[in-house]
Amino acid sequence: MSNEEQLLRRPLYVFDLPSNLISNLALKTGRETPSPPEAVETPVSTPNHDGEATATSCGLCGVNSTTVEEQKAHVRSDLHRFNLKRRIAGQAAVPEAEFEKMLEDMNESISGSENDSESSGDDNDPLSTLFRRKARIASEATGSPHQTSKTGPGKAPIIWYSSPLLPHTVSLGVYRALFPHVERDGADYISGLQSSQLKANPEENPAHIFMCMIGGGHFAAMVVSLAPRNLKRQGTMEREVTVLAHKTFHRYTTRRKQGGAQSSNDSAKGNAQSAGAQIRRYNEAMLMTEVRDLLASWRGFIDTAKLIFIRATGSVNRRTLFGYEDAPLRSHDPRIRGFPFTTRRATQSELLRCFTELTRVKISRIDEATLAALAEESKKAAEPPTVKPAKPEAPKLSKEEEAQILHSTQLAALVRRSKAAALLSYLTTNKLSPDFQFHPPNHHSPTLLHLAASSNSPAVVSALLTKAGSDPTCTNPQQPKTPFELAGDRATRDAFRVARAELGESKWDWEGARVPTALTKGQAEERENRERADNEKEEKARRRKELEKLKQQEVKSPERVGARSLASSVVMGLSRREEEEKGLTPEAKVRLERERRARAAEERIRKLQGK
């Protein structure tokens, strides 16, 4: 078994590390800055009651989260907002422990300040008040001849170590919050870790830590000994947490679906007189009394605790723990820490999870490729951001170009609506060429005649050719086809042939324009009449055939005597239809037939509804 497998086969406990490992630890260089989330691996996964565990982190605050919900809660927290303000001001972010210490130095919660001049600018915003105070202190320090302002990145929440007993790609991490302020300020993390080992202090009463959380009407506190119990289970020795005392409270103090404590709402909008408000107000007072009584009974544990971890955000929660007469907890106590990671609801199981997370050594395994990528990313981050070149402004149009665009829009609309007379009038009024080129260029229909032919408008085609004098041979490299080749129906193509007959063969190169032989208006009308007559003849033959078919059916199944026969009814109906359609154009006949069918459909629907 290799050294790595032998040392890391079980989770490492910060206060009881193997002797050979603790004596060969060295501080990891280049890891004092916050590490990316890929570089930190928690050896033992913590359960997530909300769903599957996922790894997330905040690179700004250096806080690791186990779920996306925790990361979202951190983004909405005061710490993240404060660090965003510092980033905007060009200052380094602060870790959660230092942020909690700043709050304690204010002698009040983050909800306000005792100095009226500090809280009059941003509507008593707590983060703005704290930020202005730190900015004022920094400016005073900069102005002093004996002091200099401290700049640089914030401290990472985890201290990383290396050991010759492990591969160089493996690093061991311990939370910075576990070190006393002496070691933290002096950066003596090697001797601090060695002196905190249980083997170095063989006492009858080992040290213990005090942890408590309060928020949303939930309170949980626990005193945990740093000396775990070793139990033998299934032939193996397992380490179990030694809990000296624990207690939880819960009171209904948070307004449902609205959030916030009742006292905060009273301070902002005045005392509400509803039954729910009175219940919440009473529960806040009872919760404060219960918590303070518990802290008084645990004064011995609190006074002798090695470290104190507290999570209490908001003015009401901090007033519950600090600032009252004979309070066991003092805001300036150097032992007080904040949890260096995101926490969930205050429960006993959450405190046990936090203790396990705090006291277990973090293991990071990074290969050479990842190290090179991290070094490259840090190098890029150190470089000044590149300024994107501004987009070039669109060139201003001249008056001639603007006029061309206006004419193109108006003429295209007239052509598409088949307004031949209006089109000719527009060309004459504005003195435009009949071979007007659209602007911007229209590669499919570059000229008016191309657009009229592609839009199947024979009236416009005839007007442009015979009255305006458009050139039917006009083409360009983008559209090598002539206007005649873009025509989509016979009426439009006949307009070109009629214009050829009216203008004469010498007017244009009709062969080059791909226009077939000339066709006069008389010939076109004669052909149309002939086709109409053929269609009527075919229609009469079809009706005669249908009548004969109906008569044969009537002979096979005769109707009752005296009643009108089916064939005669059909004949009367057909004759009436012929009378109605006499003198109508084909379009009018189609419209009449459509209306007749619609009326018949409405009658059928009416009969069905009557049944």
Q: pLDDT tens digits, residue range 551-584?
A: 888 777 665 544 455 555 555 555 667 777 777 8
Q: What local confidence, expressed as pLDDT, does residue 133 receive?
A: 63
| pTM for this prediction | 0.46
Task: Write down the number of H helices and E strands in the chain.
Answer: 22, 11
Q: Which range of residues forms the domain containing residue 311? A: 205-346
The b/e string for 65-90 (b: 16+ C-beta within 10 A; e otherwise) is bbbebbbeebeebbbbbbbebbeeee
Q: What local confidence, expressed as pLDDT, does residue 181 receive?
A: 64
Q: Report the alpha-carbon angle 590-593-598, nearest 5.
A: 125
CATH of the domain at 426: 1.25.40
- Beta-carbon contacts of 75 under 8 Å, excluding residues fewer than 6 positions away, are 58
Query: Does residue 406 share a domain with residue 493?
Result: yes
Q: Is residue 563 one of the residues assigned to a domain? A: no
| Residue spans of beta strands (DSSP E) within 20-101 | 26-27, 56-58, 63-65
Separation between Cα atoms, residue 37 and residue 64, nearest integer Å:
8
Domain boundary among 472, 497, 519: 519
Q: Which listed residue (147, 197, 234, 262) is catalytic?
A: 262
Query: Does residue 427 share a domain with residue 510?
Result: yes
- Beta-carbon contacts of 426 under 8 Å, excluding residues fewer than 6 positions away, are 410, 411, 414, 432
Q: What local confidence, expressed as pLDDT, does residue 557 receive?
A: 67
User: How many domains does the chain contain in total?
Assistant: 2
Q: What is the mean pLDDT of each run of 10 residues along the chain (611 residues)?
A: 70 84 78 39 37 57 75 81 82 78 53 36 52 58 42 69 84 86 61 79 78 91 89 74 91 74 71 82 90 93 92 86 90 89 91 92 80 77 75 82 90 91 92 88 88 91 91 88 90 90 90 89 88 89 86 71 52 65 81 88 85 55
Separation between Cα atoms, residue 519 and residue 498, nearest integer Å:
5
> CA–CA distance from 295 to each of 29, 221, 262, 303, 426 (Å)?
42, 9, 23, 11, 94
Q: Is the peptide bond before 558 cis (omega within 30 degrees of 0)?
A: no
Query: Does residue 436 share a domain with residue 308?
Result: no
Q: Is residue 52 one of the residues assigned to a domain? A: no
| CA atoms in the 13 A half-sphere facing the CB of 110 | 20
> With contact defined as beta carbons under 8 Å apart, do 232 and 215 qualify?
no
Domain boundary among 301, 325, 346: 346
Which runs of consecutive H residues, i.e. helices, occur in 261-347?
Answer: 262-269, 275-297, 299-304, 315-321
> Residue 224: enclosing H or E segment and its boundaries?
strand 218-233
Query: Does residue 415 share a domain with residue 334?
Result: no
Separation between Cα atoms, residue 461 and residue 486, nearest integer Å:
12
Beta strand 158-162 with 218-233 is unpaired
Separation between Cα atoms, residue 59 and residue 35, nearest integer Å:
8
Query: Does residue 334 share a domain with residue 210?
Result: yes
Q: Is residue 534 one of the residues assigned to a domain? A: no
Token look-up 């559209």 returns: 479
> With contact defined as beta carbons under 8 Å apart, do 351 and 220 qualify?
yes
**Angle in degrees, 0-180, between the axes of helices 586-610 and 566-581, rounded to the nearest 10:** 140
Rounded to an integer, what is the distance from CA 121 to the centroid of its chain?
A: 33
Query: Does residue 406 share a domain with residue 342?
Result: no
> With contact defined as beta carbons under 8 Å apart, do 375 and 133 qualify?
no
Q: Is residue 511 one of the residues assigned to a domain? A: yes
Name the β-bridge partners of 365.
Answer: 170
Q: Is residue 449 one of the residues assigned to a domain? A: yes
**Which amino acid would we find at residue 37?**
P
Query: Does residue 336 share a domain with residue 236?
Result: yes
Q: Is residue 264 one of the residues assigned to a domain? A: yes
Q: What local confidence, expressed as pLDDT, does residue 302 receive?
A: 92
Q: Is residue 515 one of the residues assigned to a domain? A: yes
Query: Does residue 499 share a domain with residue 433?
Result: yes
Q: Is residue 180 one of the residues assigned to a domain? A: no
> Is 262 one of the catalytic residues?
yes
> CA–CA distance from 69 to each of 49, 52, 344 (Å)?
11, 11, 10
Separation between Cα atoms, residue 285 and residue 263, nearest integer Å:
10
Separation between Cα atoms, residue 560 and residue 523, nearest integer Å:
55
3-state secondary structure of 213: strand
CATH of the domain at 220: 3.30.420
Query: Does residue 409 share a domain with residue 279?
Result: no
Query: Does residue 403 share a domain with residue 326?
Result: no
Q: What local confidence, expressed as pLDDT, does residue 303 receive?
A: 92
Q: What local confidence, expressed as pLDDT, does residue 137 receive?
A: 56
Query: Does residue 335 share a domain with residue 452?
Result: no
Q: pLDDT tens digits, residue range 358-386?
A: 999 888 887 777 767 877 887 777 777 77
Q: pLDDT tens digits, residue range 387-417?
A: 777 778 778 888 888 889 999 999 999 999 9
Query: Does residue 337 share a domain with residue 237?
Result: yes
Name the β-bridge partners of 170.
Answer: 365
Domain boundary among 463, 490, 519: 519
> With contact defined as beta carbons under 8 Å apart, do 181 and 101 qualify?
no
